[in-house]
């Protein structure tokens, strides 16, 4: 899924001051994992050369484009001065300045006085599964550092190291970071570099391989068949590194977890030199890996200007996620098909499924894919996910990647493709240390390669909401979009996760049988036809037929009641892609190029 190349902030006067004391210029963290069943990381942060009035803060977001306010998990913040011997001296006052910021030292101290070494201690509670979170329990610890470690706003560029202590016997630690001076310690050139590399602490299996000049490690929980998985990961790595002209790193780590992640905590999170993925099947792990690994280029190194520098204090708005995420999904599917893991029919089925999904969302008529990117911060609201409120930039962006590839092949008689766009962005921006200017720079690169204007394409489908003329693009490769319609059950409400983790009615369709029967937004769903709601009720509801009666046992303001109604129906268009029987010579060439990732 998501992002970050870390800016190196320019050191100001404070940086010079700290640089003058090289022996103590590293900000040091100790993270105790004692009593893991309490789910609390005990953090001690040592700040060398802290000037009076030094502030510390914890990010409000990381790993997802959602403000999740990690500060609410923090407790018992204390600070002491460190004596020259390194032992704790006098207590220093801690003043909370805002929801995520604290000042060390009182007002009098802030007025002036020498720099001193300070130590801040606090604990922070996490026991959430999956790659976007942090977790400490009796089985393991997984840490996204931005979710547990304070930073000093004007000292993010200074070196840091982290020492884990009080590990359960037999636990080991692994991270895609340089080792520190002792076991279970890691270091990084800056806070930003540190938080781009999660750490797993526990017992796990590990295997390694070399590919195209880089070393790869796979860290996986005990169980899965590594031979089959390793073979597929190598195919993905091989295809994507060849495509992009070699790996942009020397070493890369896949942190993989196979388990009951169908609904909660599943997904993948990209970092510059590693990815963390949780999935419920090997096939899902492999599909997510094809997407996440491509992020090592697209978003981590080929990076939009609008995401730089990272602002840990509030939302960061970007129009570029249709490309950074959506086109990464296009390449996830290309990698799977072009490396032979998928058949061409599976690629066609993927594209048909994406078109079906976009078509099922009435919001496609008024929300552009750039607006969907700006609104990514609403993803945490369940009701926002309803088809009449939003589209997904993953979904439409992936489709636009496919259509762009075909349009570029059409404009150049199959001499150039979207592959060349990715390579040119890599050489013009990523390798030269530049960030691209969102859709405008993508369009420039496309036009440079295609030798014609793509103004219409970007105006109509990227910043606009015109219906995509699929048939026009697909026919370039001798492909045809087949449309079928069927009646499916319409529950009349959208189920969402409630604050306590149970299911709640996130929205009710106006005029639907559900509304007529008395269902209201906010109702907690206790049972559905006498059963506890399944892990994915939206999916489960699709197994019903139009007209079938359902009984919802709900709780509203402490009162329980039963609501029964017959499901409505709606027509769903379902799209599939097929090859036309007698393609022209040019269509055949372009189709072969599209499927094999080649040009003439």
Nearest approach in angstroms of CB 393 to Zn ion is: 10
Nearest approach in angstroms of CB 277 to Zn ion is: 11
As a whole number of angstroms, the distance between CA 9 and CA 59 comes to: 17
As a whole number of angstroms, the distance between CA 546 and CA 489 comes to: 4
Interacting residue ranges for Zn ion, rule: CB under 5 A: 1, 325
Nearest approach in angstroms of CB 422 to Zn ion is: 15
Instruction: Select 325 or 420, whichever has its Cβ closest to Zn ion.
Output: 325
Instruction: Select 176 or 325, whichever has its Cβ closest to Zn ion.
Output: 325
Cβ atoms of residues 579 and 493 within 8 Å? no
Nearest approach in angstroms of CB 476 to Zn ion is: 27
Helix (H, G, I), strand (E, B) or coil at 145: helix
Nearest approach in angstroms of CB 401 to Zn ion is: 13
Nearest approach in angstroms of CB 292 to Zn ion is: 6
Instruction: Select 291 or 591, whichever has its Cβ closest to Zn ion.
Output: 291
Residues 6+ apart with CB under 8 A from 36: 136, 137, 138, 141, 168
Question: Which three-class secondary structure string do you get for 326-389?
Answer: HHHHHHHHHHHHHCCCCCHHHHHHHHHHHHHHHHCCHHHHCCCHHHHHHHHHHCCCHHHHCCCC
Q: What is the largest CA-CA distance in the chain?
A: 84
- Phi/psi for 304 (5° steps) reads -70, 140
Residue number of the CB closest to Zn ion reads 1
Nearest approach in angstroms of CB 466 to Zn ion is: 26
Cβ atoms of residues 576 and 359 within 8 Å? no
Instruction: Select 325 or 405, whichever has its Cβ closest to Zn ion.
Output: 325
Tally the C-alpha atoms within 13 A of residue 319's C-alpha that lie toward its C-beta.
16
Nearest approach in angstroms of CB 392 to Zn ion is: 12
What b/e string do you get for 137-153 counting C-beta neighbours within 10 Å, with b at 16 or more? eeebbbbbbbbbbbbbe
* H helical segments located in 244-327: 282-294, 321
Instruction: Select 1 or 276, whichever has its Cβ closest to Zn ion.
Output: 1
Instruction: Select 50 or 421, whichever has its Cβ closest to Zn ion.
Output: 421
Instruction: Select 325 or 370, whichever has its Cβ closest to Zn ion.
Output: 325
Nearest Cα neighbor of 275 from 237, 313, 310, 320 is 237
The single residue listed with the structure tokens 């149970």 is 502
Q: What is the dihedral of CA 384, 385, 389, 391, to 10 degrees?
A: 130
Nearest approach in angstroms of CB 288 to Zn ion is: 9
Instruction: Select 1 or 425, whichever has its Cβ closest to Zn ion.
Output: 1
Instruction: Select 60 or 328, whichever has its Cβ closest to Zn ion.
Output: 328
């Amino acid at each position: 899924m998501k992002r970050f190349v870390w800016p190196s902030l320019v050191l100001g006067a404070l940086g010079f001051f700290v640089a003058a004391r090289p022996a103590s210029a590293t900000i040091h963290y100790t993270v105790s994992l004692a009593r893991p069943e309490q789910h609390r990381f005990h953090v001690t942060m040592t700040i060398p050369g802290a000037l009076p009035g030094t502030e510390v803060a914890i990010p409000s977001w990381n790993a997802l484009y959602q403000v999740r306010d990690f500060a609410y998990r923090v407790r018992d913040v204390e600070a002491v001065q460190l004596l020259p011997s390194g032992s704790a001296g006098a207590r220093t006052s801690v003043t909370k300045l805002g929801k995520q910021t604290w000042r060390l030292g009182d007002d009098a101290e802030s007025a002036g006085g020498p720099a001193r070494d300070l130590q801040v201690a606090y604990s922070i509670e996490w026991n959430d599964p999956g790659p976007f979170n942090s977790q400490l329990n009796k089985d393991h610890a997984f840490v996204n550092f931005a979710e547990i470690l304070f930073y000093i706003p004007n000292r993010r560029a200074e070196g840091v190291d982290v020492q884990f202590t009080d590990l359960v016997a037999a636990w080991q630690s692994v991270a895609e970071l340089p080792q520190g001076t002792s076991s279970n310690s890691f270091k990084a050139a800056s806070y930003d570099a540190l938080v781009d590399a999660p750490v797993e602490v526990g017992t796990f299996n590990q295997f390694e391989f070399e590919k195209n000049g880089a070393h790869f490690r796979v860290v996986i929980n005990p169980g899965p068949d590594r031979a089959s998985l390793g073979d597929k990961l190598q195919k993905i790595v091989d295809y994507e590194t060849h495509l992009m002209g070699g790996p942009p790193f020397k070493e890369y780590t896949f942190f993989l977890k196979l388990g009951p992640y169908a609904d909660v905590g599943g997904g993948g999170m990209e970092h510059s030199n590693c990815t963390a993925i949780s999935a419920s099947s090997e096939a899902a792990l492999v599909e997510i890996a094809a997407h996440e690994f491509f992020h090592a280029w697209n978003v981590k190194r080929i990076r939009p200007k609008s995401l730089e520098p990272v602002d840990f204090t509030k939302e960061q708005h970007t129009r570029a996620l249709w490309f950074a995420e959506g086109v990464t999904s296009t390449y996830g599917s290309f990698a799977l098909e072009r490396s032979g893991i998928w058949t061409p029919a599976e690629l066609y089925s993927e594209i048909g499924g994406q078109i079906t999904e976009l078509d099922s969302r009435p919001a496609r008529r008024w929300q552009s894919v750039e607006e969907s990117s700006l609104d990514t911060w609403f993803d945490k609201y369940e009701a926002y996910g309803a088809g009449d409120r939003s589209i997904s930039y993953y979904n439409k962006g992936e489709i636009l990647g496919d259509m762009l590839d075909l349009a570029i092949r059409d404009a150049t008689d199959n001499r150039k493709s979207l592959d060349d766009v990715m390579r040119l962005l890599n050489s013009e921006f990523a390798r030269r240390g530049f960030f691209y200017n969102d859709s405008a720079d993508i369009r420039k690169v496309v036009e440079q390669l295609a030798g014609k204007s793509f103004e219409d394409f970007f105006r109509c489908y990227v910043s606009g909401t015109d219906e995509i003329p699929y048939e026009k693009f697909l026919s370039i490769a001798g492909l045809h979009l087949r449309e079928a319609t069927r009646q499916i059950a319409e529950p009349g409400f959208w189920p969402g996760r409630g604050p306590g983790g149970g299911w709640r009615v996130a929205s009710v369709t106006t005029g639907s049988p559900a509304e007529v029967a008395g269902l209201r937004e906010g109702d907690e769903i206790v049972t559905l036809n006498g059963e506890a709601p399944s892990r994915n009720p939206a999916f489960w509801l699709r197994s019903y037929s139009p007209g079938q009666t359902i009984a919802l046992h709900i709780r509203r303001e402490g009162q329980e009641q039963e609501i029964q109604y017959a499901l409505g129906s709606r027509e769903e268009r379902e799209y599939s892609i097929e090859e036309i029987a007698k393609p022209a010579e040019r269509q055949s060439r372009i189709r072969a190029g599209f499927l094999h990732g080649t040009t003439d």
